[in-house]
Amino acid sequence: MQDESRNDAATSGDPQATPPEPASANAAPAGTGSPEPAPDQSGSPGSARDEAAQGEAAPDGAAAQASDSRSEGQSEDVGAVPAADATDDGGPAPDDVGDTAGGTVEQRDGSNPTLGDVLVAVEELWPASLAEEWDRVGLVAGRLHRPVRRIMFAVDPTLEVARDAVRREVDLLITHHPLLLRGVNSVADTTAKGEVVHELIEGGCALLTVHTNGDSAVGGVSDVLADILGLTDVAPLAVADAGLPEEGIGRVGRLEQATTLGDFARRVFSAMPAVAGGVRVAGDADAVVSRIAVCGGAGDSLFDAVRASGADVYVTADLRHHPASEARETARGERPFLIDVSHFASEWLWLPAAAEALENVLLDQDFGVDVMVSGINTDPWDFVLTP
């Protein structure tokens, strides 16, 4: 059994930081109307993986765990935008989106961990064994003996993110997407990736990737997405070969109350960070839906699993023309209906929960460290034209 204080710390707080809001994406997409507020379903992964591994009753996804823990007190709001950087409506200042971190946790008592210590904590939360075979996760740059005082989470290791991390004196940048997924022959600063490497190394900032291992783990990207959308009885779409039964790519669960596809799409829209592309929907807006499949990031490889799960709706990102068209043809106009969201937006939602989970593990080991979430919008699109 785990120390009870660990469980409280791992599940307290509100992991939903105010996301970046580009000025070009404030209006709802054509046909969706005004977005409805998302349900208050903030989950944090905490120690759910440890509990399941040690034989305790594991929750059916992050939603159940978060629901049990929310009444047990609140800690600092990891990822909350500081008041000085916020607008009246809670969002980052429009002229300072790139400079607004998701927020910092005040320095804790205790010694600073080394980079090696942080890697041990990361492995506990998001084991490298859960990564897909094609993926490249783990440490990209950094010395294991160097102390880590400040950590920043971001979706993408772009040059803007790297420079912001160095400016904020971050010792470790943890990104969801790999910088070096495919082989390179040079990291000279004449290349885009090389410039990022030089910026970080010269600024004394290590780089770590948590990608598909962060997708599959308990409390990972799709668990958080499912939780925010209000799903219960959550299970993986594709169970991980090397993980627990609760681990794998994608999630499927049920809404507590059935709703129409149109209303659910508005819920999805309101839950996402504002991006230029908005949310696209395929299906009858008046159809009643209750069983929902989700996959943060690109998920068009999971259509067979989605159909097998009996989902009414599939929420994912980067749906290309041919896979989406074939899915609709296979369904003959019926279920699963499709909701296509921004890749960046669907994965950004995980960052505050991940930051809180890592802080809890390090705090449990008496390490003091600041943790923040980048407020930089790395969605590649700037504006969209619609009929």
Q: Does 5 score more than 80 pLDDT?
A: no
pTM above 0.85, yes or no: no
Same fold, 4-11+39-214+346-374 and 243-344: yes
Q: What is the pLDDT of residue 307?
A: 97
Q: Does 55 score more than 50 pLDDT?
A: no
CATH fold, domain 243-344, is 3.40.1390
Phi, psi torsion values for 381, nearest 5 degrees: -100, 140
* 187-199: average pLDDT: 96
The domain spans of the chain are: 4-11+39-214+346-374, 243-344
Confidence of residue 322 (pLDDT cuts 50, 70, 90): very high
CATH fold, domain 4-11+39-214+346-374, is 3.40.1390
pLDDT tens sequence across 252-283? 999 999 999 999 999 999 999 999 999 999 99
Q: Does 97 score more than 90 pLDDT?
A: no
* 306-311: average pLDDT: 97
Q: Does 81 score more than 60 pLDDT?
A: no
Q: What is the pLDDT of residue 9?
A: 34
Q: What is the pLDDT of residue 110?
A: 65
Angle value at C-alpha 33, between 30 and 34, nearest 5 degrees: 130
